Amino acid sequence: MASIVQFENVGLRYGTGAETLSDITMSLNSGAFYFLTGPSGAGKTSLLKMLYLAKRPTRGVIRLFGEDAGALPRARLPGFRRRIGVVFQDFRLVPHLSAYDNIALPLRVAGVHESDIEAPVREMLAWVGLTDRGKAKPPTLSGGEQQRIAIARAVIGRPEILVADEPTGNVDPDMAERLLHLFDSLNRLGTTVVVATHDFHLLNRIPNAHMMRLEKGRLNDPTGALRNPPGER
């Protein structure tokens, strides 16, 4: 499988403080499933932010879809971001928009005609089991429902990479397993999935998933996923 993301000696520093992430070198293969684990404060969210282009590295090189992401001009960032679906740790749903409109947002941003939006949004609502909650606004939804809307929004544009930051942090174990099942089904359709979690119970639920572990801003590779392409393991 081809590499879709490459980090080479990447470091990230906020302001003038110590490096939050140091010497991150990794390669993510297209169509694979990755877990990113590590204790709180290890730098998981920071790493994901660089992955979904919310942060530029302070050193090193990130190659995304074959291009140096650090050198991309601002004008090209939207095009790259549309190829990446993100499930934020705090969902980041737009509170004054309905669940339907939140899910439709990536399509509207991409300029899809309104008549071509309804069917995929309805499909997504059904996929996450919230068919009857389309008109509800996020503040009236439970944590699990908000999480599923966030996932639907992240995947409706058929992204090449799905990045999820602690997607099961606010839901009960049953819901966590259901969400993970959604990620797995998306991965089977060919999307590269990166899930950051510190919930070790989840790691065994996806048999083919690879695990990366961050500790104190440095990356360990307990499953060897980063050294060996999944197909060769």
Partner 1 sequence: MRFSLNPNAPDKRLLDESRRTRAMTWIMAIMLFLTVLAGALGLGMFTATAQLDRQLAGRLTVQIVEPNTQIRDSQAAAMVAALARVPGVTRATEADRARLAELLKPWLGDAGLDPDLPMPAMIDVEMRGGDVGAVERAARAIDPNARIDRHAQWLAPVRSFMSTMSWFAVGLMLLIAAATATVVLLAARAGLDTHRDTIEVLHMLGSTDLQIARLFQRRIAFDTLAGGLLGSGAALGVVWFLQSRMGALGSEMLSGVALQQRDWFLLLLLPIGFALLATFAARISVLRALAKTL
**Residue 110 engages partner 1 in binding (rule: CB under 8 A):** yes
Among positions 16, 74, 204, 231, the unique one binding partner 1 when judged by CB under 8 A: 74
Among positions 78, 143, 190, 222, the unique one binding partner 1 when judged by CB under 8 A: 78
Which of 101, 226 has the CB closer to partner 1? 101
Binding window for partner 1 (CB under 8 A); candidates: 50-58, 136-144, 165-173, 175-183: 50-58
Rounded CA-CA distance 231/218 in Å is 25
**Residue 101 engages partner 1 in binding (rule: CB under 8 A):** yes
Q: Cβ 155 to partner 1, closest distance in Å?
A: 12
Which residues contribute to the site for partner 1 (CB under 8 A)? 52-56, 74-75, 77-79, 81-82, 86, 88, 92-97, 101, 104-106, 108-111, 113-114, 153, 157
